[in-house]
Structure 1
Amino acid sequence: MSFLIQCIHWLALLGCFYLSLRLFRDLADLSQWIVQTPRKVTMWTFYRRHKIAIAAGILWLISALTLWFSGAGSVVIFWIISALSAFTFYSGYINPTIMMRAQQHNARYFSIDEARESLSPDTSLIVIDAHGEARGHPDDQILRPHVAGTKEGLAGENVVMTYCGLTNMGIAYTPEIDGETLDLGVMTQIENNLVMWDKKTGQPIQQFWGTREDAGPRGPRMPEWPSYRMPLWAFEKAFPNGKIFLNPIPNFTDNPFLAIYDRLIHIIFTHAISDQAKKEEPTFPTIKKFDKRLPNKTKIYGVNIGDDYVAYTEDFIKDHDGLLNIQIGGRDIVAAYHSDLDSVGIYYNDSGRQINNVQFGGESNVGKLARVETMKPEAYWVVWQNFFPETDVNRPPLT
């Protein structure tokens, strides 16, 4: 056997393993427990993932042919490396689309009575409402799809809920940029925050920014919708006809593969989210700068008007009698804790007058107030400060 064929065999086999390993390292988010790659490298691999996958397949075929027809290499080593390549290839290239099946168009919403069968009254919901219709999203239900919506929209409005369990945050978006409708999929996580991608343009979209990667964090973004948190019992009180998003795992008789696979993924995701909630350090060690003004896992209500970012804690709002008249980005704003529904709301105040009271629906002593659409309810401080280091903390009320 010629030396050249031996070289071709080993170079092809190792090349296949390297490319598969690269897909795993950069695109399989669970790999970031072990190896952390810079954002630029992750994006480079994502943009070229199909070419890398094809190249890996061709190299494996070359190594297999030189083994079978020329006897090059070692059968045992070939199958060991092939098995490792198959695992890393699947984890980085195939698994993300199966593991995190976004439901932008086909999410299922259930009545409160139906939801009570699987949820406790204190289950925290991320809520959006439009024209009197409301939807609640439990964390553990939206954890796997990361994106939930329907073709019909909400009360005729095109709005979807996006969710990142590592950030403990939902953001409601109209999936459009500059009037162009997006088809959102789930890519990975970077620095403990969800990265989606637009299947039409192939562009990644960081959840916090809502912009396409090629435009950068200050590029055109998806319009936000006001969202907030409240427990199930309060949601029922405020919206007795509201709907709850549920994501039941298929029965074994309906789809045996997904019945097993989704349960396994749910266990893995739940473990990661539990670690994020309990431990001081972020689950994925990809955050390098820490702001000690608040403990890492403090749940904050982040809000911005333009480039003015502020993070409030619920305790700070409560300590001010549950009502703060503040100014953000040059606009008068009101932050309120609604004790009757255990929910925090942040509202625009364009009246030019002091707000003395504001109800959950925005009714106040100066008329109805609109919610601030950029408020992020109960996001972890450690992730928020990483993306918005310029943020102010617990800005005092106007005097």
Structure 2
Amino acid sequence: MKKAIMVLITLSLVIGGLGSVALTEGGQLINMPRDWVFTLFQYKGLLTVAMLLLAVAALWLSTRNKVFSKMVLSLYVVSILGCTFLINWFAPDFWLRSQQHNASFMSVEEADSRLQSNDDVFVLEINGDARAYPRDWMQLPHIAGDVVGGEDTVMTYCALSNLPMAFNPNMNGQPTDFKIIAQVHNNLIFTDRNSGELIQQVTATAEYSQTELEQYPVQRMPWESFKALYPEGQVFNYEPVLYDHVTLKLFDSALEPHYEGEPMFPTLSLEDDRLATGEQVWGVQVGNESVAVTTEDFTEKNQLVVELSNQKILFVNYEEYQTVAAYFVDDSRDWEVTEVDPYGSHASGKLERVNLYSGMPWMVWSHWFPETQLVNKQTI
């Protein structure tokens, strides 16, 4: 009988341990395959039920036959409950709490008393309506929702990829409830609890249905630049709870070497050595083609044009505001010398912004976009 009970206990703990590792940072520490993470998440409900049924059977048989002491059984119960918590609620409901539906915002004047001039902010502007999302205040919630310029939006941020991306939260015409799950290959994955979908942030694509989320262009800049450009804008406000302060200190210490080029998790290919692993890039993808731009590319000029999938893209480095933007352009003029202001306007109109991946370390960008071009390596 003892052997049968041990089998039940072992099976339940293996299931619980596997699910707990996959749906926390532990999976990436051991380089768990991406497909495993997504599959385990898809069936986490069944795994939880199976684990609990095995545990109940083991406890009932052990109690009935007096096989193990109360101390051993208590530790086992705590382990099973801990696995249940880690698999189902730890990241989305306790640790990294999305603010898709309850985000609060404040005026520039209010935020100015809490932010420093050089604090990094992510800027979303739609129809003249602007929001700033301070990087430090996005590290824990990862997701903040709002209506901007009349459009439903969610700003997302992955600290490992150093990547802000904004989306229309409605998928296939249906409202969503986005929650953080974990990360794979140093990039955020989140779920829609309404549909059960998983979304990889950097690809903006739902894993199971392959639905592509509609993106809104994001620009990052120092706080002082946002104040100057959008004085009537609103600023995302995040008030951390007590244990959040511990997490933030851990994040800061762990991310420092990561941003210097030593990946926190061993899940990146690191085969592309055209740039230093930690060098931050501005990236654009159009169709199946992508390009990365570095600070060095703006040494001789502040505007440059690249072509991707037969579409010309204008990159502009606004030195005064310490920010870079990208726009779709045509052949109507020489865009490398045409003055384009920080709002995308020029003498004859206003340009459409491109979805810009701002600030990603080269090691992460080149992993997700292995065929990427570099401006100084291509003919423009």
Q: What TM-score results when the alignment is normalised by the length of structure 2? A: 0.93
Structure 1 CA distance, aligned partners of 2:358 and 2:196?
29
Distance 1:326 1:136, change over 3 A: same
The 5 A counterparts of 1:1-399 are 4=1, 6-29=2-25, 31-32=26-27, 34-97=29-92, 98-150=94-146, 153-215=147-209, 219-249=210-240, 259-278=241-260, 280-316=261-297, 318-355=298-335, 356=337, 357-372=339-354, 374-394=355-375
Contact kept in structure 1, 2:303 and 2:314, CA below 8 Å: yes
How far off its partner does 1:334 sit? 1.1
Structure 2 CA distance, aligned partners of 1:371 and 1:105?
27
**Secondary structure of residue in 2 paired with 1:181:** coil
Aligned to 1:256: none
Contact kept in structure 2, 1:177 and 1:220, CA below 8 Å: yes
Q: Could you give the per-residue CA deviations for residues 51-96 of structure 1, whole angstroms, max 9, x where no partner exists?
A: 1112222222222222333201344443444444444443333201
Contact kept in structure 2, 1:147 and 1:163, CA below 8 Å: yes
Distance 1:300 1:241, change over 3 A: same
Structure 2 CA distance, aligned partners of 1:88 and 1:260?
24
How far off its partner does 1:345 sit? 0.8
Structure 1 CA distance, aligned partners of 2:245 and 2:49?
30
Contact kept in structure 1, 2:55 and 2:80, CA below 8 Å: no
After alignment, is 35-44 or 60-69 more displaced? 60-69
Aligned to 1:254: none
Letter in structure 1 aligned against 2:199: I
How far off its partner does 1:396 sit? 7.0
How far off its partner does 1:273 sit? 2.7
Contact kept in structure 2, 1:111 and 1:242, CA below 8 Å: yes
**Secondary structure of residue in 2 paired with 1:180:** coil
Q: What TM-score results when the alignment is normalised by the length of structure 1? A: 0.88
How far off its partner does 1:341 sit? 1.0
Aligned residues with identical type, % of pairs: 26
**Secondary structure of residue in 1 paired with 2:89:** helix
Structure 2 CA distance, aligned partners of 1:181 and 1:371?
26
Structure 2 CA distance, aligned partners of 1:362 and 1:236?
17
Contact kept in structure 1, 2:142 and 2:156, CA below 8 Å: yes
How far off its partner does 1:136 sit? 0.8
After alignment, is 171-180 or 186-195 more displaced? 171-180
**Secondary structure of residue in 2 paired with 1:149:** strand
Distance 1:206 1:325, change over 3 A: same
Contact kept in structure 2, 1:67 and 1:75, CA below 8 Å: no
Unaligned residue ranges in structure 2 (runs of 5+): none
Structure 2 CA distance, aligned partners of 1:202 and 1:49?
11
Structure 1 CA distance, aligned partners of 2:314 and 2:43?
46
Letter in structure 1 aligned against 2:207: E
Structure 2 CA distance, aligned partners of 1:326 and 1:173?
25
Contact kept in structure 2, 1:353 and 1:366, CA below 8 Å: no
How far off its partner does 1:361 sit? 1.1
Letter in structure 2 aligned against 1:16: S
How far off its partner does 1:397 sit? 8.7
Unaligned residue ranges in structure 1 (runs of 5+): 250-258
How far off its partner does 1:349 sit? 1.2
How far off its partner does 1:370 sit? 1.8
**Secondary structure of residue in 2 paired with 1:196:** strand
Q: Could you give the per-residue CA deviations for residues 365-386 of structure 1, whole angstroms, max 9, x where no partner exists?
A: 55322211x2111112111111
RMSD: 2.0
Q: How many residues align?
A: 377
